[in-house]
Amino acid sequence: MGFPNLVTERETSSEESSSSEDEGENIVVDDSENEEEEEEEEEEAQEEVVETKKREKKPITISLKKVCKVCKKAGHQAGFQGATYIDCPMKPCFLCKMPGHTTMTCPHRVATEHGVLPASPRNARHSVNFVFERQLRPNVPAIKPAFVVPDHVDCGVIRYHSRRVTCLEFHPTNNNILLSGDKKGQLGVWDFIKVSEKTVYSSVHTCILNNMRFSSVNHGTIYAASSDGTISCTDIETGFSESLMDLNPNGWHGPSSWRMLYGLDINAEKGLVLVADNFGFLYMLDARTNGRTGGPILIHKKGTKVVGLHINPVQPELLLSCGNDHFARLWDIRRLEAGSSICDLAHRRVVNSAYFSPQTGSKILTTSQDNRLRVWDSIFGSLDSPSREIVHSHDFNRHLTAFRAEWDPKDPSESLVVIGRYISENYNGVALHPIDFIDISNGQLVAEVMDPNITTISPVNKLHPRDDVLASGSSRSLFIWRPKDESEHVEQKVEWKILTCGKSGNNSSRKGDSDDSDDGLLGLKGKKLKRRRIQIKSSQKDQRALVL
DNA sequence: ACGCCATGATTCC
DNA sequence: TGGAATCCCTGGCG
């Protein structure tokens, strides 16, 4: 039984060395209170742990010591040091999930060009390939236009949701209307130009509104899929709502039988509404009669959630689905039956979203819980492996809506993508979670957008189909961002119109207070942040330097 | 202001 | 296969 001893030795020695390193070169952590006597005690505790090994009960001594809250070992501590989060070194990197380093030293940090992992085998850019693509996309511009990144909280912040925002949708024709859904199933309609013009429909659904899509024939109505097991079709003017389908007509009989609806999309050509549930099934409804067409079809592993559906914008027969079985799948809806997928795109973890590119429909972008965005450059080429994987922090646990990378529908080169970031960064002493703009053709971080007033994570983001506007959902709040107009040298005219309703009033007033009281501090930080927010491409190292 | 709790969904064992 | 554990969350309560 030399093995446990060996383990003990290794662990203690590594800790000793790490703690001594911490004093010197490693800037990072460690309370200097870690005196020698304590270390001895820690070693004892360590041995105890190893001896008990089966972790029946924690030795009481542990609770007396400062111990890492993640791995319960002594000698280091995970957690915030000011606005900087220190990872537990015993765990794999929180960003890229590889062992041997932490987020601080991760080569993928801040999604620079290092963040791009070429797939193996790499999709070579043969000239044949290029011609092929050129044929498919005759209108592809020769030179990629400069991205316009909405970066400045402009006209409004709104808080009418009483629970976290789960999805956003811009009106297809009215430029100023934003729809939002929340965890409670409420549907918000907001005219963000007339900031105070807002409506909340609370009786559309009874729990999480997972996805919504405007009707292709009537721009005044929106379809929504909810965890209450129904699809709603709501008139956004009147709030009149019709339920198209109820998967739980007999009510609640426990979680094993309760059906929830997640993925939703519309096939305009055939007038179909497609939805998918938490058991792996797809349902199709006729948008004209609002009746079901055919029975449920198993499109993902039985019993797993299908979180996303997307109809190809150019070939409406093509359907892309994704879900908790770690796959995104491509389907021909004319021949749709269990196991008939055209292609299965494997991922290492749950796939939060899968989208065709918005204009040509020839690219695929997925967001997976393994902290990687995946890009397939052409659905007409080989789909065996993604053309690129981009490491980006967007895994999550509780309380957060799943992150989804969203295309910029205006970008003719179909390479600009927006996605919120999970891990925070220390920006002038404030831990903020930026919203990232990523060029998926090369994996570069085009811009990181943040505001010192927004300290919560923004997992829900959507770019406007026509204007340079970004809408974000962060916790219960909605934000509208626009590019800062450089010609106007207006003095910091950030008008924070925090509109609230319901019981969130407390918070908003608290927020207002802190804005006032922190005046100098926040204002200054805000200014500095805004000035340097956008660093287009060029050198990522410079950006890093600027940020720190 | 602080600490504690619940929460959800997934992964791990 | 079920049940335990779970790192940067959010909000509410005492």
Nearest protein residue to nucleotide C6 (CA to C1' distance) is: A397
Q: What percent of the residues of chain A are helix, what percent strand, and what percent coil, each to the nearest 5?
A: 20, 30, 50
pTM above 0.75, yes or no: yes
Q: Decide: A203 and A225 in contact? Cβ < 8 Å.
A: no
d(CA A255, CA A248): 11
A54 touches strand B (CB under 7 A): no
Nucleotide of closest approach to A164 (CA, C1'): C10
Count the neighbouring beta carbons within 10 Å of the beta carbon of residue A171.
19
Nucleotide of closest approach to A104 (CA, C1'): C8
A397 touches strand B (CB under 7 A): yes
**Token pair belonging to A264:** 């939703």
- In this prediction, residue A503 carries a pLDDT of 29
A324 touches strand B (CB under 7 A): yes
Q: Per-residue pLDDT tens for A182-219?
A: 998 999 999 998 877 889 999 899 889 999 999 999 99
Please indicate whether residue A81 or residue A529 has the higher confidence score (pLDDT): A81
* C1' (C14) to CA (A515) span, angstroms: 27
**Whether the bond into A121 is cis, omega within 30 of 0:** yes
* C1' (C6) to CA (A398) span, angstroms: 10
Q: What angle do CA A504, A510, A511 make, to 5 degrees?
A: 90
User: What residues form DSSP beta bridges with A368?
Assistant: A351, A372
Q: What is the mean pLDDT of residues A464-477?
A: 94
d(CA A70, CA A85): 13
Q: Per-residue pLDDT tens for A19-73?
A: 322 322 222 223 333 333 333 333 333 333 333 333 333 343 434 457 788 887 8
* C1' (C9) to CA (A129) span, angstroms: 44
- Selection from A400, A366, A359 nearest residue A383 by Cα: A366
Highest mean pLDDT: which range of A9-18, A150-159, A230-239: A230-239
Q: What average pLDDT does the structure give for chain A? A: 75
- In this prediction, residue A44 carries a pLDDT of 37
DSSP string for residues in A492-547: ------EEE-GGGHHHHHHHHHHHHHTHHHHHHHHHHHHHHS---SS-HHHHHHHH
Nearest protein residue to nucleotide C5 (CA to C1' distance) is: A70
Using pLDDT thresholds of 50, 70 and 90, give the confidence band for residue A234.
very high
Q: Per-residue pLDDT tens for A285-335?
A: 998 887 888 899 999 999 899 999 999 999 999 999 999 999 999 999 999
Pairing label, strands A221-226, A435-439: unpaired
Q: Per-residue pLDDT tens for A257-272?
A: 889 999 999 999 999 9
Q: What does the longest C-alpha to C-alpha distance in chain A come to? A: 77
Q: What is the mean pLDDT of residues A515-532?
A: 26
Residues packed against strand C, CB within 7 Å: A 69-70, 78-80, 85, 87-88, 91-92, 94, 103, 164, 396-400, 422-424, 431, 433, 455-457, 474-476, 503-504, 506-507
* C1' (C9) to CA (A143) span, angstroms: 41
The full 3-state SS of A361-397, as one line of letters, equals CCCEEEEECCCEEEEECCCCCCCCCCCEEEECCCCCC
d(CA A340, CA A343): 9
Helix or strand or coil: residue A23? helix
Cα torsion through A160, A163, A169, A175, rounded to 10: 10
Q: Decide: A534 and A149 in contact? Cβ < 8 Å.
A: yes
